Amino acid sequence: MASALIETDKVEANATKILVAEDDKDIRELISFTLRLAGYDVWTASDGVEAIELAQEILPDLILMDVRMPRMTGYAACEIMKQKESLQDIPIVFLSAKGQEAEIQQGIDVGAEAYILKPFAPVELMSQVKDLLSAVGRE
């Protein structure tokens, strides 16, 4: 079973940048592959600390973040990002399991734009990301 990141064709130079912060390797790759298929430039981080560092480096147009991650939770990372001038305007979307209403509300409270529920169909992910990006004018 291949464990290397699935590569797709090179994306265009001015493609929209998306940062995906997710600790589970398989979900991380699933999301990356799906979004690259849709033509986005995808960067990945495996925890909150890495997510903040990478965000400052690449300044993505959208950040998809899992709620539960080691070292620093999605909320904590979101709160920190909203306090940094360079990052505070980047829309953050949480990935949460269905039925976790309390978690979802907490996410909105710390400044997340929206949330995507797991499990999701790849095609749903693509369309939700597309809608979110155009809603914030970054398409």
Partner 1 sequence: MSIEKARLLEQTRRRAIQLESIVESITDAVIVFGPEDRIASANPAVRHVLGLPLELCLGVRLHDIIAQECGREVADRAQVISLAFESSRQKMQQDAPKVKCRFELSGQVIDASFVLVNWKEGQPPDIVAIFRDVTRQAHIDRIKEEFISVAAHELRTPLTVLQGYTELLLSESVGKVAPMQERFLKTIKANLERLAELVTNLLDISRVEAGTLQLNFEELCLPNLVAEVLPAFQAEIEQKGLTLVVEVPRNLPVIWGDQSRLAQLLNNLMSNACKYTPGGGQIGIMARQVNGQIQVDVMDTGVGISLQDQEQIFSRFFRADNPLIREIGGSGLGLSIAKSIVVLHGGEIWVDSELGSGSTFSFTLPLAREGSPDTMDPPEGPRLS
Helix, strand or coil for residue 23? coil
Residue 24 binds to partner 1 (criterion: CB under 8 A): yes
Which amino acid type is present at position 134?
Answer: S
Rule CB under 8 A: choose which of 82, 118, 130, 138 binds partner 1. Answer: 118
- Least distance (Å) between residue 97 CB and partner 1: 4
- Shortest gap between Cβ of 79 and partner 1 (angstroms)? 19
Window 42-81: contact mask with partner 1 (x via CB under 8 A): -------------------------xx-------------
Using only C-alpha atoms, the chain has a radius of gyration, in whole angstroms, of 14
Q: Which stretch binds partner 1 (CB under 8 A): 50-58, 72-80, 120-128, 131-139?
A: 120-128
Tokens describing residue 98: 């269905």
Query: What are the b/e assignments for 70-98, b being 16+ CB within 10 Å?
Result: eebbbbebbebbeeeeebeebbbbbbbee
CA distance 109 to 128: 20
Residues that bind partner 1 (CB under 8 A): 6, 24, 26-27, 30, 33-34, 37, 67-68, 97-103, 118-123
